[in-house]
Amino acid sequence: MWSMIVGLVGGVVGIAGGAAVMFAFTLPVACVPPCPAQHPPPTLSAAALQYAVLAFLAIVAAIVAASLALQWIGWSRLRDADRHRYGIGRTGLVLVIVGFVMVLAAFAVLYSALLPMVAGYASPEMPSVPPPGALGSALGSGAAAGGLLLLGAALVVAGYIAVWVGLWRLDEDHGNGTVRAAIILEIVAAAVAALSSISYAAVLVASALAFISYVLMILGLHGISVRAAPAPIASSSPPDNSTYANPSQPSTRRTGRG
C-alpha cells in the first residue's frame, strides 16, 4: 500500500517537476544592459538544462527505488505467510527490477553510441561530419541496445503480470473486489495507452484510468490490511478452576435442562 502511495506521489511530482523545468527554460533570461540585439531573447544555457534534467532524473530514480524497496518488503512478508499463494508476487517483482535494469542499460549503451556522432555534428570545425567510424559503431551499439531493450521490456511485462496475479489472489482471500477492479482498470489503461499514436485523447484517457486504478489499489490494500490484521486478544479474568479441582467429583453446575 505504501509503495503505491509513494508511486502516486512520485508520479505527480514527476509531472509537475518536468513541466516546471521545461517552462523555466523557455523563459527569457534577463541580461545586463546593453543587451545584444538578438531574436529570440537569450534563454538559460544548455549546460544548465542538462544539470536540471540530471537532478530531475535523480529525484525520479530515488522515488522509484523507494517504491520498489517497499514492494520488496511487502511481497517478502506475504510470501512468508503463504508461499504457494503469494510467492508469485515477489517473483514478478524480481522480473520487473531485472527488466528495468536492462532497459536502463540499453539506454546507456544507446546514449554512449550516439554521443560521438552528436559531438561531431556540434563541433564548430566539422559541423556536419561525424568522427571516422562513428556511424558503424553507432549502428552496432544501437542494434545491441535494441535487443537488450526488447528483452528488458518483455521481463517487465511478465513481472507485472505475475504481480497482478499475486494481488488478485490477495484480494480473493482478504479483499472485497477493489484491488481486482484496480487491476482491470490498469490493464485497460495500458491497452488505451497503446493507441496514443492514433489519438492524443488516448493519452489523457489512459492517464485518467491509471490514476483511478492507483487510487482504487491504495483503498483496496488498505481495506485488506484492516481485515487481515489479527484481532486483539480481549483481556479476561482467569477462569474459576474450583470446579475442576477434583476431577473425580461430579460437577454440580446446572445444565439448563431443569
pLDDT 10s digits, 204-240:
888 888 888 888 888 998 888 888 776 665 555 555 5
User: Between 121 and 212, where is the model more confident?
Assistant: 212
- The distance in angstroms from the start CA to the end CA of the chain is 57
Query: What global pTM score does this model have?
Result: 0.65
90: nearest Cα among 18, 163, 35, 22 = 163
Regarding predicted confidence, which is higher, 47 or 157? Answer: 157
Q: Is the peptide bond before 250 cis (omega within 30 degrees of 0)?
A: no
Q: Report the C-alpha gap between 219 and 171 in whole angstroms.
A: 12
The gap from C-alpha 256 to its chain's centroid, in whole angstroms, comes to 62
Q: How many CB atoms lie within 10 A of CB 128?
A: 7
Of the CA atoms within 13 Å of residue 257, those in its CB half-sphere come to: 1
Which residue ranges make up each domain of the chain?
1-24+44-81
pLDDT digits 0-9 by tens, 57-97? 778 778 888 888 899 999 999 899 888 899 999 999 999 99
